[in-house]
Amino acid sequence: MSAPRVGFVGLGNIGKPMALRLAASPMQLAVHDLAPGPVAELAAAGAEVAGSVAELAAQVEVLGVMVRDDGQARAVLDEALTTARAGLVVVVHSTVAPGTPAELAAIAEPHGVRVLDAPVSGGPMGAEEGTLAVLVGGAADAVEAARPALEALGSKVVHAGPIGAGTRFKLARNLMHFVAFTAATEAQRLAEAAGLDLRELGEVVRHTDAITGGPGAVMYRESTAPIARDDFWHGVFGHVADLGEKDLGFAIELAEELGVEVPLAELAHVRLRKGLGL
């Protein structure tokens, strides 16, 4: 497959390092952003600079979009469609509402333009290193047309399904991400009340999650249905549930002694076993 000519709109905290990865690839890159600093940095890295989204869309085959919200994504697409040639693939990397990708695809279709939703996971560090997970929804032919650009951005590219599937994948992943952050704040409050070093606790969490896989370690099954007793995972998750209920019970008991509220821990104590499929 020949390398496509790629455009990129949105040179923010994650978009700029993503664009720099594209600039370092064999693909021709052109960029647009309203902020002059990031544009100058991309120009110094070898990218061409377009004065508008319309100018950019007229000259590329794949257009990456990493803007702030749904409204900005719609505005970029609307302007791109004024000059885009049939066959353009617009790749929306922003995390948008579940229904937005299908809406954008419907707007683009009469123009012969294909839309992919391809939010990313891995943050600025993953963007800088080219190790993002890129979660893609859309038609297979459009995914293949954009694949060289997608693979320049991330070390894991997942074609999750039809348009919108990438966004749904990202929302499921981030649900766990931010619920876990909230649980981390409960653990910090408990540790602080117990007179422990919070930085050391954080170091231990990162150390052991790197060994065990953290919450992802229980996500190997293909279904959330109840597990049959003769299934391999019944024994594994039964052990997990036994340990979890014991340790959560002790943590809740300690929290009560110290006067610390831990509602997520209490909910997990009730729901862990059923959630694991037992």
Angle at 18 between CA 14 and CA 23, to 5 degrees: 145
Instruction: Provide the 8-state DSSP code for 46.
Output: T
Using a 10 angstrom Cβ sphere, with 0-12 exposed, 13-18 middle and 19 or more buried, the burial of residue 259 is exposed
- Same-domain check for residues 193 and 153: no
Domain count, the chain: 2
- Among 16, 170, 246, 274, the active-site one is 170
CB 221 within 8 A of CB 233: yes
- Same-domain check for residues 150 and 251: no
Q: What is the pTM of this model?
A: 0.92
Domain closes at, from 134, 163, 192: 163
> Helix, strand or coil for residue 258?
helix
CB 128 within 8 A of CB 24: no
Distance CA(105)–CA(113), nearest Å, equals: 8
For 4-59, write each residue's pLDDT tens digit: 899 999 999 999 999 999 999 999 999 999 999 999 999 999 999 999 999 999 99
Instruction: Reply yes or no on whether 156 is catalytic.
Output: no
For 164-196, write each residue's pLDDT tens digit: 999 999 999 999 999 999 999 999 999 999 999
Domain that holds residue 246: 169-275
Instruction: Provide the 8-state DSSP code for 81.
Output: T
- CATH code at 80? 3.40.50.720
CB 124 within 8 A of CB 148: no
Mean pLDDT for 116-122 is: 97
- What are the tokens at 34? 């309203």
- Same-domain check for residues 209 and 82: no
Residue 1 lies in a domain: no
Distance CA(191)–CA(186), nearest Å, equals: 9
> What are the φ and ψ backbone dihedral angles of 262, each rounded to 5 degrees?
-135, 65
Distance CA(180)–CA(174), nearest Å, equals: 9
- Same-domain check for residues 152 and 76: yes
- CATH code at 184? 1.10.1040.10
Residue 108 lies in a domain: yes
- Same-domain check for residues 200 and 139: no
